[in-house]
């Protein structure tokens, strides 16, 4: 390397050194802010995604429970329906009343 080139280079560097350092600090600060913002954004995105997934899963779970509940409700209704109760009554020895007479009780 030539002495002139060396001198020019080092001379320029020396002259601009204080200015470069300040710019570098600002640049690093900017990068740090961008990185922090990026992390915050990523964090929010992750959180939203996770919550969205949980919401979806809860919705599906809710629907599944509603479906199971409907099935149980229908089964209860079947077991307590009039045709089933009639059959059960006969099985238990009860007979349908053919002739019903109602007595009027005075002095209610």
For other proteins, the closer of residues 18 and 83 by Cβ is: 83
78 and 84 in contact (C-beta within 8 Å)?
yes
| Min CB(64)–other proteins separation in Å | 8
Tokens representing 65 are 């429970």
- Residue numbers 19-58 binding other proteins by CB under 8 A: 48-49, 51-53, 55-56
What is the sign of the dihedral through the CA atoms of 58, 64, 65 and 67?
positive
Of residues 16 and 66, the one with the C-beta less far from other proteins: 66
Size of the site for other proteins (CB under 8 A): 28
Which two structure tokens, joined as six digits, stand for 86?
């009639």
Count the helices and strands in the chain (H runs, E runs).
Answer: 2, 0
Binding region for other proteins (CB under 8 A): 48-49, 51-53, 55-56, 59-60, 63, 66-68, 70-71, 73-74, 76-78, 80-83, 100, 102, 104, 108
């Amino acid at each position: 390397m030539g002495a002139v080139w060396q001198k020019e280079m080092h001379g320029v560097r020396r002259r601009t050194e204080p200015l470069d350092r300040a710019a570098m600090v600002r640049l690093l600060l900017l990068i740090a802010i961008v990185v922090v913002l990026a992390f915050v954004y990523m964090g929010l995105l992750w959180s939203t995604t996770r919550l969205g997934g949980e919401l979806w899963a809860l919705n599906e779970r809710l629907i599944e429970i509603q479906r199971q509940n409907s099935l149980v409700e229908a089964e209860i209704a079947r077991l307590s329906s009039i045709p089933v109760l009639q059959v059960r009554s006969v099985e238990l020895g009860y007979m349908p009343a053919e002739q019903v007479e109602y007595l009027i009780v005075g002095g209610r």
